[in-house]
Amino acid sequence: MIHAHEKSTFRMGLVGAVPIMLGYFPIAFSFGVGAVRSGLSPTEAVAMSVIIYAGASQFLALALISGGAPVLVAAFTLIAMNLRHVLYGPALMKRAGRGARKRWALIWAFGLTDEVFGAALGALARGRVFSESYMLGIGIGAYAAWVFGTVLGAYAGGGALEGWPILDAALGFMLPSLFLALLLSILSRAQLPVIGVAAVTTVLVTLLGSGTVGILAGMLAGAVSGLMRRGAHAQ
């Protein structure tokens, strides 16, 4: 994403990924440590990050597996939680415009995490021009930080953070905080009611049921609210 008079480069994408990398690395390190504590081998922990690459959902998977949940239940729960990623590509391409290239979409779309999507959408909102080179750079940078952090955490061993309980607890808040910071940078006043509906629904359903159901209900409520507001404005 660059201004029209500038040349798009892969390097610019890597530079744009730096804030995400700084957030991903310590969280991935914590995941690697937690995975080994939960009984996974270092190789299995790294494989989860390489193949699944689902951020907070990987921590949920650990909780489900260590709690005795069947693997299929854990898998379907993760799929349900991450269905929102299916919408990221179309939303980004719509904002980029009809002339945006999609030749390498199958590659950079794999890296469309919440934070990468937020950063890319924020760049477009600030008047930048869509670029696949940029998307590859920011995606690869974020992915490398997540995998490398997991590798270090997994092979450092389950006791790596035992002497730092405050740090261990704080790492659990870093990923949602990073996404929230990126989200707030692109929100407009017109979007706040939709966000409010989704947030209230998530909290209420979580209190009445479970966190997984609450997240799914919040996603659905936010989507329906957004469609209703869009339909009202179109009339």
CA 20 to chain centre: 10
pLDDT on residue 5: 44
Is the pLDDT at 231 greater than 80? The verdict is: no
Q: What is the model's pLDDT at position 97?
A: 79
| Per-position b or e across 142-176, b if 16+ CB within 10 A of its CB | bbebbbbbbbebbeeebebbeeeeeeeeebeebbe
More confident residue, 25 or 216: 25
| Mean pLDDT, rounded, for 110-116 | 89
Q: Which is more confidently placed, 54 or 66?
A: 54
% of the chain surpassing 70 pLDDT: 74
* Residues facing residue 129 across a β-bridge: 2
Contacts 24+ apart (CB under 8 A), 159-163: 160/29, 160/33, 161/30, 161/33
- Please report which confidence band the pLDDT of residue 178 belongs to, taking 50, 70 and 90 as the band edges: low
pLDDT at 2: 44
Q: Where are the alpha helices (DSSP H) in the chain?
A: 10-37, 42-51, 56-66, 71-81, 85-96, 105-108, 114-125, 132-156, 165-184, 192-208, 211-234
Residue type at position 34 = G
* Bridge partners, residue 227, by sequence: none
What are the φ and ψ backbone dihedral angles of 169, each rounded to 5 degrees? -70, -35
pLDDT score at 8: 62
Q: Which comes out higher in pLDDT, residue 10 or 142?
A: 142
**Global pTM value:** 0.69
State the pLDDT at residue 45. Answer: 92
Rounded mean pLDDT of 83-87?
Answer: 80
The Cα angle at residue 218 between residues 72 and 90, in degrees rounded to 5: 80
Q: What is the pLDDT of residues 192-203, one digit of tens each?
A: 777 788 778 888
Highest mean pLDDT among 103-107, 148-152, 178-182, 210-214: 148-152
Q: What CA–CA distance (Å, rounded) separates 59 from 172?
A: 9
Average pLDDT, the chain: 78
Position 158 pLDDT exceeds 90:
no
Interval 184-190 mean pLDDT:
58
Least confident of 31-45, 68-82, 117-131, 137-151: 68-82
Mean pLDDT of 164-170: 61
Q: Is the pLDDT of residue 1 over 60?
A: no
